[in-house]
Amino acid sequence: MLPKIDIYIPFEPGEFLGSEYNRILKRTANDWALLVDHDVFLSCNPHWYFICQKVIEKCDPDVGMFVCYGSKLGNTEQMIEGAPSNFKPIPEHQAFAKQLFEKYQYSTTQIEKGTGMFMLIREWAWHDVRGFSKNIGMFGVTKKFNQQLKKRGWKVMRINGLYVYHLRERREESWIEGENVTQDYAKKKLEK
């Protein structure tokens, strides 16, 4: 029987996503949980859930987290040559996702660090590293978590046959006066 995966879209209106990640992972009912950003389009590959199940089923016991390829990420280990730009239509991203899966299937590669837009986390690894740091801003919390995993001997693996469209470069300004969105937090970070 393939493993079950709990899927969450974390949201924290302030800058400290670590607390929200921890709140979610404390209540996960299964051994694995997927934390995915609200601006990620998973369905570039309609079999994304099954792919995640298959790599979990085959993985070594020291794998703490899986990530995947995505469009326009800050982590070069999750960017792949030939990926459409974020301003291309969704069907181009879907065609690219299909090509990538046909080439790499369920293969995985160990990488140094993964980004927070798609984190498939082993609950025990999260528990072992005592969770995410609670007082680090949203742009450093994943980096710190990767460091904690590595320090405790957990591997971070990239799912080579899985590509998602991350809307990252198309961040919109808030439509509700007085309410911040990711772009507002990014601006504040740059101003500091």
Residue 128: burial class (beta carbons within 10 Å; 0-12, 13-18, 19+): middle
Name the residue with tokens 């160990």. 110
Query: Residue 16's pLDDT is what?
Result: 80
**Run of H or E residues at 171:** none
Residue-wise pLDDT for 101-113, tens only, equals 999 999 999 999 9
Confidence of residue 185 (pLDDT cuts 50, 70, 90): low
Determine which of 8-12, 146-150, 152-156, 173-177 has the lowest per-residue pLDDT on average. 173-177
Q: What's the pLDDT score for residue 31?
A: 97
Domains recognised in the chain with CATH numbers: 5-191 (3.90.550)
Asked whether residue 139 carries a pLDDT value surpassing 80, the answer given is: no
The DSSP H or E segment spanning 161 is strand 155-166
132 pLDDT band (50/70/90 cuts)? very high
* DSSP percent split of the chain into helix, strand, coil, nearest 5: 40, 20, 40
What is the average pLDDT value for the chain, to the nearest integer?
88
Residues 116, 11 contacting (CB under 8 angstroms): no
Q: Percentage of the chain with pLDDT > 90?
A: 63
Helix, strand or coil for residue 113?
coil
- Any idea which of 75-79, 134-138, 142-146 has the lowest mean pLDDT? 134-138
Mean pLDDT of the 13-23 span: 83
Q: What is the pLDDT, as a whole number, of residue 186?
A: 54
Residue 190 has pLDDT above 70, yes or no: no
pTM of the model: 0.88
- Tell me whether residue 150 is exposed, middle or buried, using C-beta atoms within 10 angstroms of its C-beta: 0 to 12, 13 to 18, 19 or more: middle
Give one DSSP letter per residue of 18-83, joined into a string: HHHHHHHHHT--SSEEEEE-TTEEGGGSTTHHHHHHHHHHH--TTEEEEEEEESS-S-GGG--TTP
